[in-house]
Amino acid sequence: MAAGTKRLIAAALVLVACGAGLVSPAGADLTRSAPRLQSEKARIVSLVPALTEMFYAIGAGPQVVGVGSFDQFPPEVATLPRLGALLDPDTERILTLRPTLVGIYGSQTDLQAQLARAGIRAYVYRHGGIETIYRTMRELGTATAREPQAERLVRDLQARIATIRTRVRDRTKPKVLLVISRQPGTLREIYVSGGVGFLHEMLEIAGGRNVFADVARESAQPSQETILARAPDIVVEVHAEGMFKTSSVQNEKAVWAPLSSLPAVRNNRVHVLLGQHLVVPGPRFAGGAEALARTIHPAAFNR
Amino acid sequence: MSPPSRLAASARQALAVDALERPARKPIRTRLAVTIAGFGALAVAAIALAPLVGSTHISLSRAFDRSIPFADNVDAQIFFVARLPRVLSGALVGAALAAAGVVFQALLRNPLATPFTLGVSAGASLGAMLVLIFGVSLSVGPFSTVPLASFAGAAVAAGIVYRLATPYRRAMSTAVLLLAGVTLNSFFSALIMFAQYFADFAQAYRASRWLMGDLDVGSYQPIIAAVPLVAIAFAVFAMLPSALNVLSLGPEAAATRGVDVVRAQRLAFFSASLATSAAVSLAGPIGFIGIVVPHLVRLLVGVDHRIVLPASALFGAAFLVACDLGARTLLAPVELPVGVLTAMIGGPFFLWLLVRKG
């Protein structure tokens, strides 16, 4: 018994020693080398489309070695390994790529723990408003030693947003219903943007008044009754490509016809916009805001 | 009595037929008339009052004012486009699911049977998932894509179970029916998850939202499509109650009492599956009604199917209309999935009644 215990302790000591021996060079490399050098050699995995777009926008694209299943932009990601997404990250393949920085979503706590155990840095992201987009870009800039590029990107986006605001500033703000999901071909299971989140903020920038601004959530399912009662002047649906076929957009607009008391329906102001830039809170969001502004205030862009 | 044995007693009571053999306190016609009058009044009250209440205040005189063009009349649109279709579909779905629950419980001789036990709803869900996820668009007559696909899925599931349970023009084995249904449920659930795994988030979310059930049907068209199917099912239900009373004793006992067991079982299976398919294709798989309403009604009126079946249909209609009223007003302006409310309201009420009666 005593001999057994001694042997165990000895074995443990050997293991610890080996472990220390194995770990310390790598650890030393991480801590001692200048962060800048280390970050330039970073191998990046991004499982979140918004983060992937940001990595590319700040010039870290060449260092991206793997992306999530739903990443489509920029087109370069098409050739990269797909490593799962929010619910099904492929931890094993992520580790095989030997990344030094992995962009994950806030709810992926298991993956976060696994990465921590493997000594890999995780950038944990959660959707928020436009300020979150800017903050995330700056933090990714720091993480990849590309602060100047990130700062330039943020300034550029802020300037574009300011331009949109100026264009629509003197226009009266119509009441807008911003639809983000519904069952195709019917008015069932309609989800709209509430008064929180980047979609709501994009709508405000574009010179619209969100009719569900009082709902303190990013998305909400109102009943048809509530939609009728809120009487929006304009209905804008934003969907990623592939939600509706481009050929069916006319039919999808027509499903609103039964709600003829809506000013939006009466005045033929139901719009269906398709495109990932409208729904991904990444560097293309300014383009999304501009598309919304052009839809809500076409006259402001006709000069 | 401890709660488990109380539950068991209630389960026995649900199937107990000895109660039927006791001389009835009053003639069946009188009891039927009283029950239908009571539950009918409840259903009528629910259907008449529910459209008057909502998240918004509307002026009824304006809603019914024909001098205002309908396109300009918000109150009329809220009443006729938003509220009335919801109430009517709630009544139709509630009645169909509750009655189908009664029939399945008798057919399977199992108090835990629901309209969804035999895989009908899983088949319907798979059909709906597939068109929602792969963006298929089809429509036939008044049916639009999702109802059509879910009805087709339900029909396929019912067809498979039926084939498995009726090999040689013999009586259906309830054990085989149950096993086939449970297996089919798991199999279809696996296929649903498989399909969802390949969908993107928005599609997967829309698909799982469908599974929570929703009565905001948005127009009369889907209701008009479902009414004939439910009507056929109820026409068959009307022929069933006496046969169901005897079937509850078991096929052998039923045969000795001169019931054509094969025919009765097949009619029961067909009509209950049809009612369930129509209800699910209209509003998604709204749970709990098909199991709790029949038991609630049995606790109140006894176990004779001649009374339980119509009473359950009426009470199911009233119950779902009431739950949907809660779904659309409690969290207004936001909506609550009605399937969440049916169990949240119905569960505690049922347990209270169970304990009190036990």
Contact assignment for A230 to B145 by CB distance below 8 Å: no
Q: Which of A186, A243, A259 sits opposite B77 (nearest CB)?
A: A259
Q: In this predicted structure, what is the pLDDT of residue A32?
A: 35
Q: How many CB atoms lie within 10 A of CB B142?
A: 17
pLDDT digits (tens, 9 = 90+) for B106-142: 999 888 889 999 999 899 999 988 888 877 777 776 6
Cα angle, residue B90 at apex, residues B124 and B245 outer, rounded to 5°: 75
H or E, element range at A247: none
Record: contact A222-B74, CB cut-off 8 A = no
Give contacts of A 249-288 with B, CB under 8 A: 258-261, 266
Do A48 and A68 meet the contact criterion of CB atoms below 8 Å apart?
Answer: yes
Instruction: State the Cα–Cα distance between residues B343 and B293, nearest whole angstrom.
Output: 11
Q: HSE-up of A55 (CA within 13 Å, CB side)? A: 33
* DSSP label of A26: H
Residue whose entry in the numeric block shows the structure tokens 């569960």 = B347
Residue A259 has its nearest CB partner, among B81, B132, B328, at B81
Residue A291 backbone phi and psi in degrees, to 5:
-60, -40
Between A28 and B227, where is the model more confident?
B227
Q: What is the pLDDT, as a whole number, of residue B142?
A: 66
**Is the CB of residue B357 less than 8 Å from the CB of residue B299?**
yes
Q: What is the pLDDT of residues B12-23, one digit of tens each?
A: 454 444 445 444
Q: Do B333 and A188 touch (CB under 8 A)?
A: no
Chain A partners of B209 at a C-beta cutoff of 8 Å?
Answer: 189, 221
CB B127 within 8 A of CB B143: no
Query: In this complex, is the C-beta atom of B141 within 8 Å of any C-beta atom belonging to chain A?
Result: no
Residue type at A115 in one-letter notation: L
pLDDT (tens digit per residue) in A226-276: 999 999 999 999 998 777 777 888 889 999 998 999 999 999 999 999 998
Q: How far is CA B281 from the centre of its chain?
A: 11
Is the CB of A246 inside 8 Å of chain B's CB atoms?
no
Asked if A245 and B135 come within 8 Å (Cβ–Cβ), the reply is: yes
Contact (CB<8Å) A222/B56: no
Count of other CB atoms within 10 angstroms of residue A231: 15
Query: Tokens 């929010």 map to which residue?
Result: A86
Residue B24 has pLDDT above 70, yes or no: no
**What pLDDT is stored for residue A26 in this prediction?**
35
pLDDT value for B19: 46
Confidence of residue A14 (pLDDT cuts 50, 70, 90): very low
- Residue closest to A222 by CA, chosen among B336, B326, B301, B344: B336
3-state secondary structure (DSSP) of residue B158: helix
User: If 0-12 CB within 10 Å is exposed, 13-18 middle and 19+ buried, where does residue A220 land?
Assistant: buried
Count CA atoms within 13 Å of residue B282 on its CB side. Answer: 32
Give the Cβ contact number of residue A248 at 10 Å: 15
What's the CA gap between B95 and A104, in Å, rounded? 47
Q: In chain B, whose CA is at the least distance from the CA of A212?
A: B333
Cβ <8 Å between B72 and A259: no
> In angstroms, rounded to a whole number, what is the distance separating the alpha carbons of residues A136 and B248?
65
Contact B229/A at CB under 8 A: no
Task: Please write the tens of the pLDDT for every residue from B155-167.
Answer: 999 999 888 877 7
What is the CB neighbour count within 10 angstroms for residue B140?
A: 9
At residue B334, the 3 state secondary structure works out as: strand
Residue from A223, A256, A259, A268 to probe the interface with B (highest B Cβ count within 10 Å) = A223
**Res. A55: pLDDT tops 50:** yes
Rounded to whole angstroms, the Cα distance separating B244 from B267 reads 11
Quickly count: other Cβ atoms within 10 Å of residue B198's Cβ. 11
| Torsion of Cα atoms, A57 then A112 then B190 then B336, to 10° | -80
User: Cβ contact (<8 Å) for B81 and A181?
Assistant: no
> Inter-chain contact A185–B73, Cβ cutoff 8 Å?
no
Which of chain B's residues have a Cβ under 8 Å away from the Cβ of A183?
A: 132, 146, 206, 210
Q: Which strand (E) or helix (H) includes residue B201?
A: helix B201-210
Nearest CA to CA, how far is B51 from chain A (Å)? Answer: 11
| Cα separation, B112 vs B270, whole angstroms | 19
* Per-chain mean pLDDT for chain A: 86
Element of type H or E holding A164: helix A147-168
Peptide bond into A184 cis (omega under 30): no
Q: Are A199 and A218 in contact (CB under 8 A)?
A: yes
Lookup: tokens for A126: 């959660």
Residue % of chain A over a pLDDT of 90? 71
Residues of B in contact with A189 (CB under 8 A): 206, 209-210, 214, 216
Tell me, yes or no, if B73 comes closer than 8 A to chain A by beta carbon: yes
Query: Residue B355 carries which side chain, given as an amino acid letter?
Result: V
Structure tokens at B270: 């067909």
Q: Predicted confidence band at A29 (pLDDT cuts at 50, 70, 90)?
A: very low
Q: A175-181 and A121-125: which strand pairing?
A: unpaired
Mutate to test the interface with A, among B79, B81, B201, B281 (most CBs of A within 10 A): B81
Say which DSSP state B358 is in.
-
Burial A164-173 (b: 16+ CB within 10 A, else e): beebbeeeeb
Residue A89 Ramachandran class (φ > 0 left, ψ -120 to 50 alpha, else beta): beta
Q: Residue A267, exposed/middle/buried by CB under 10 A (0-12, 13-18, 19+)? A: exposed
Do the Cβ atoms of A89 and A117 come closer than 8 Å? no
Q: B5 CB contacts (<8 Å, ≥6 apart)?
A: none
Q: Which of residues 170-199 of B touch A (CB under 8 A)?
A: 197
Contact B197 A88 (CB under 8 A): yes
With an 8 Å Cβ cutoff, are B218 and A188 in contact? yes
Q: Phi-psi region for residue B293, left (φ > 0), alpha (ψ -120 to 50) or beta?
A: alpha
CB A206, CB B309: distance < 8 Å? no
Task: Give me the torsion for CA of B171, B173, B178, B179, rounded to 10°.
Answer: -130
The pLDDT tens digits for B305-314 are 999 999 999 9
Q: pTM for this one?
A: 0.81
